[in-house]
Structure 1
Amino acid sequence: MKAARFDYVRASTAEMAVDALARGAVALAGGQSLIPLLNTRTRRPEVVVDVSRLPLTRVVQDGSTLVLGALTRLRAAETSPVVRRAVPLLAEALTHVGHVSVRNRGTVGGSVAHADPAAELPAVFLALDAVFTAQGPSGTREIDAHDFFLGPHRTALASDELLTGIRVPLPPPTARHGIAELSRRPNDLAITAVFTLVTLTDGVVTEARIAVAGAAPTPIRAHAAEELLRGQALTPDVLTAAADAAAAATDPVDDVHAPATYRRDMTAVLTRRALRQAVAE
Structure 2
Amino acid sequence: MWNIDTNAPLQSILDNPECPPLLRRTLTGPISWQTRNETSVQKALTSPRAAPQWVAALLAMGVTITVEGDAGPEEMPLTVGAESPSPHILRIPPLFLPPMGGDEGGWRWGEARVTRTPADEPIVAVVAVVEVNGDVVRQARVVLTGVWPEPVRLAQATEQLVGRPLDEDNIRAAAEAVEKEVAPRGDFRGSEEYRRAMAGVLTRRALGQCSQQEASDE
TM-score, normalised to structure 1, is: 0.63
Q: Which structure has the larger Rg over C-alpha atoms?
A: 1
Q: CA deviation at 1:270?
A: 0.4
Distance 1:184 1:144, change over 3 A: same
- In structure 1, C-alpha distance between the alignment counterparts of 2:190 and 2:165, rounded to whole Å: 33
Distance 1:142 1:70, change over 3 A: same
Instruction: Give the letter for the 1:144 counterpart.
Output: P
Contact kept? 1:178, 1:278, Cα under 8 Å: yes
Alignment-derived partner of residue 98 in structure 1 = 31
Contact kept? 2:185, 2:191, Cα under 8 Å: yes
Q: CA deviation at 1:134?
A: 5.0
- In structure 1, C-alpha distance between the alignment counterparts of 2:168 and 2:117, rounded to whole Å: 30
Shift >3 Å, 4+ stretches: 131-136, 138-144, 168-173
| Runs (5+) with no aligned partner, structure 2 | 96-103, 214-218
Distance 1:201 1:134, change over 3 A: closer
Contact kept? 2:30, 2:118, Cα under 8 Å: no
Matches within 5 A, 1:108-147: 108-116=41-49, 119-133=52-66, 144-146=77-79
- In structure 1, C-alpha distance between the alignment counterparts of 2:42 and 2:32, rounded to whole Å: 17
| Runs (5+) with no aligned partner, structure 1 | 1-60
1:97-128 CA-to-partner distances (Å, cap 9, x unmatched) read 51234324332222112122981122222212
Alignment-derived partner of residue 81 in structure 1 = 17
Q: Report the 3-state secondary structure (helix = DSSP H, G, I; strand = E; otherwise coil) of the residue aligned with 1:246.
A: helix
- In structure 2, C-alpha distance between the alignment counterparts of 1:106 and 1:97, rounded to whole Å: 14
- In structure 1, C-alpha distance between the alignment counterparts of 2:5 and 2:172, rounded to whole Å: 38
Q: CA deviation at 1:222?
A: 1.8
Q: Percent identity?
A: 30
1:47-80 CA-to-partner distances (Å, cap 9, x unmatched) read xxxxxxxxxxxxxx3xxxx311112222221232
Instruction: Give the letter for the 1:83 counterpart.
Output: C
TM-score, normalised to structure 2, is: 0.79
Q: Which has the higher contact order (CA 8 A, sep 6+)?
A: 2
Match of 2:84 among 138, 149, 156: 156
1:241 aligns with 2:173: yes
Contact kept? 1:118, 1:191, Cα under 8 Å: no
Instruction: Give the letter for the 2:186 counterpart.
Output: D
